[in-house]
Amino acid sequence: MRIKILIRLKSQILEPQGKVIEQSLNNLGFNEFNNIRQGKLIELDLPDNLNKEEKDQKIDSACKKLLVNDIIEEYEVL
Amino acid sequence: MSFKSAVITFPGSNCDRDALCYLQDLTKGVVYNIWHEETSLPQVDLVILPGGFSFGDYLRSGAMASKSKIINDVIKHANDDRYLLGICNGFQILTEIGLLKGALIQNKNLKFLGKNCFIKKKFKNNFNLSIKEDQVLQIPVAHNEGNFYCDNETLKSLKNNEQIAFEYCKGEFSNCEENINGSIEAIAGITNKKKNILGMMPHPERAYSDFHPSQDGRLIIESLIT
């Protein structure tokens, strides 16, 4: 099964790239685009025979050990 | 007893050679260069995690290096109360390992900063003993993710335990802002609680020799060996 993990900076942390993207979009006339924040998406394959509990446990463990720094980031599995 | 030290090299480290020369010239003792895939460190007084772009800064700066094979022994070294210094990418690696609190996020102005900057010591520890109160040091920075962040509770404990080693400040000349990268409370370097581990964004190994614009970086090693 294909897994998608969305990782983003916590809302209280300044995300300057989003601000610059927002400025550029506004300059192009997309004036209604506000509060832009950029994150990252990690896609991976896990074996189909894992049950939900095993799958969640593996993803959580990988996020805690490497994929996510929980001081600054949060994640959700899409 | 001569002072022994070691520098760890990761793929993408680019200040390891500078750090080796810095230690050789200033400590006059044995300096080992250790590849990250090694599993054991020699018994040394100080280990430096050098600057650079370990593993291309993939995922997050320092994230991959923090899982390298040598890191278990680096942690053991620090747990034995011996000195550990992370410079720039080395500081990022120390926060990713969890040996130091907080995290280093992208500079507030989105620019890679490669310039001289000024720092002064905040709280006393063994790494800054030779530096006087209010003495302003000129030491270069070269980073994209040097903006120190931690939550309020962590900041409070860093202050209460006097773990803030250096903060950015204004110098005698400069086009430098007082807080160059947006770090909380202009923090440039912190220690662990026991104060045997220091992480700092400025590069003291680029400010020690006669051919460098400043020799203020010497004071860190001098603090440790005197």
pLDDT tens per residue, range A44-76 = 999 999 999 999 999 999 999 999 999 999 999
Contact B110 A9 (CB under 8 A): no
- C-beta atoms of A14 and B108 within 8 A: yes
- C-alpha torsion angle, residues B155, B97, B42, B88 (rounded to 10): -60
Query: Which pLDDT belongs to residue B1?
Result: 63
Is the predicted ipTM greater than 0.90, yes or no?
A: no
Examine the residue annotation and report whether B88 is marked as an active-site residue of this protein: yes
Q: What value does the mean pLDDT take over residues B205-219?
A: 96
pLDDT band at B110 (very low <50, low <70, confident <90, very high): confident
B106 interaction partners in chain A (CB closer than 8 Å): 16-17
Q: Which two tokens stand for residue A63?
A: 């996020």
Query: What are the extents of the domains in chain B?
Result: 5-225
CA B169 to chain A, closest CA, distance in angstroms equals: 22
Q: Residue A20 and residue B110: Cβ atoms within 8 Å?
A: yes
Please say whether the beta carbons of B104 and B91 come within 8 A.
Answer: yes
Candidates B113, B149, B184: best to mutate against A (most CBs of A within 10 A) is: B149
Instruction: Give the CATH number of domain A2-77.
Output: 3.30.1280.10
DSSP string, B125-136: -TTSTTSPTTPP
Q: What pLDDT, on the 0 to 100 scale, is given for residue B176?
A: 65
- Look at residue B109 in the predicted model and tell me its pLDDT: 87
Q: What is the pLDDT of residues A6-57, one digit of tens each?
A: 999 999 998 888 999 999 999 999 999 999 999 999 999 999 999 999 999 9
CB–CB contacts below 8 A, A to B: 31
Say whether B77 is catalytic.
no
Distance in Å, alpha carbon of A15 to nearest chain B alpha carbon: 8
DSSP letter at B52? Answer: B
Please count the other Cβ atoms lying within 10 Å of the Cβ belonging to residue A62.
15
The Cα B71–Cα A9 span in angstroms is 26
Per-residue confidence (pLDDT) for residue B175, from 0 to 100: 62
Q: Residue B107 and residue B120: Cα distance in Å, rounded? A: 20
- Mean pLDDT, rounded, for B24-28: 96
Whether the pTM exceeds 0.90: the reply is: yes
Is B201 a residue whose pLDDT tops 70? yes
Q: Give pLDDT tens digits for B62-92.
A: 999 999 999 999 999 999 999 999 999 999 9
Alpha carbon B97 to its chain's center: 14
Catalytic residue among B88, B117, B169, B176: B88
CA distance A16 to chain B (A): 7
What pLDDT was estimated at residue A67? 97
Average pLDDT over every residue of B116-137: 94
Tell me what pLDDT residue B178 has: 83
Chain A residues within 8 Å of chain B (Cβ atoms): 9, 13-14, 16-17, 20, 66-67, 69, 71-72
Task: State the architecture of B5-225 in CATH terms.
Answer: 3-Layer(aba) Sandwich (3.40)
CB A66 to CB B59 under 8 A?
yes
Between CA B52 and CA B85 the distance in angstroms is 14
Q: How far apart are CA B118 and CA B135, in angstroms?
A: 10
Q: What is the pLDDT of residues B131-168, one digit of tens each?
A: 999 899 999 999 999 999 999 999 999 999 999 999 99
Q: Give the total residue count for chain A.
A: 78
Q: Is the pLDDT of residue B6 over 70?
A: yes
Predicted pLDDT of residue B171: 81
CB contacts, 8 Å: A13 with chain B: 105, 149
Q: Residue A66: which of B67, B110, B182 has the nearest Cβ?
A: B67
